[in-house]
Structure formats: structure tokens, C-alpha cells
Amino acid sequence: MNDSNTTLDMLKEQVHQLCLRKHWGVNGVQNPQQVAMAMTVEMSELLEHFQWLNPEDVRALMEGRDPQRRAMIAEEFADVMMYGLQLMRTLDIDITGQILRKIDIVDRRPPKPYNPKR
């Protein structure tokens, strides 16, 4: 399985099966409030890998010259996504539809003076 041949529903099911195997929650469904809080904790763990980086560190990361940091970021992002997928499954949210809806909303917004592309 990889990003090219895996659907979000397949990933939601993989995470759900993990919850069942671990006996987390009720029938593999954890309290969505707790899942959302756990997701934030994992997001903080992800941010730790970016904390205090200087511009050269960031450049090295973006150019693939820091595979160790990249691996740690990937692992923490997986934690964030796993909680997110669990949340989407529990609340029966079609994240593809929601992302497309948000893209449309952002597309129609007037540009802001700040340009993050610098």
C-alpha cells in the first residue's frame, strides 16, 4: 500500500482495525473529543522537529539532505493523520468532499496582502 494505490477509506479501516486489535475505545471507536485532543498532542510532537531550525536547516530538509529529521517528521505526521482518520470515521465525515469544499472557498477569497511564497 502507498499513496498511489490506497484510498482514504482503506486507511480509515486500517486505523480502525488497529484500534480493535488494541482494544481501544468501545468496539474500536474512541471518544472523538479525546481523539481530537490526542491529535493536538501529536501535532505538537511534529512541531518539535521544526522548532529552532534556521533557514539552512529548513533548506536541507526540503532538499532531502536531512533524512533523519525527515523520518521523524514523517512518523509524527502519521500519528496526526491516524487520529484525523479515526475522527473522520467516527463522525462519518467524507474528508475528500470537505477538502474540495475548502479549496473552493479559499479559491474564491480575495488575495491577502501577505505573500507566503517569499
Residue 12 or 49 having the CB closest to Mg ion: 49
With contacts defined by CB under 5 A, how many residues of the chain interact with Mg ion?
4
Within 49-88, which residues bind Mg ion (CB under 5 A)? 76, 79
Residue 45 or 57 having the CB closest to Mg ion: 45
* Site mask for Mg ion (CB under 5 A), range 2-41, x = bound: ----------------------------------------
DSSP one-letter code for 115: -
Give the nearest distance from C-beta 76 to Mg ion in angstroms. 5
Nearest residue to Mg ion by CB is: 79
Give the nearest distance from C-beta 2 to Mg ion in angstroms. 21
Give the nearest distance from C-beta 18 to Mg ion in angstroms. 14
Q: Which residues of 35-54 are buried (b: 16+ CB within 10 A; e: fewer)?
A: beebbeebeebbeebeeeee
Helix (H, G, I), strand (E, B) or coil at 23: coil
In degrees, rounded to 5, the angle at the alpha carbon of residue 17 between the alpha carbons of residues 16 and 18 is 90
Among residues 24, 29, 43, 45, which is the contact residue for Mg ion, using CB under 5 A? 45
Residue 94 phi/psi, 5° resolution? -85, 100
In degrees, rounded to 5, the angle at the alpha carbon of residue 57 between the alpha carbons of residues 54 and 63 is 140
Cα–Cα distance measured from residue 19 to residue 87, given in angstroms and rounded to the nearest whole number: 12
Contact residues: Mg ion, CB under 5 A: 42, 45, 76, 79
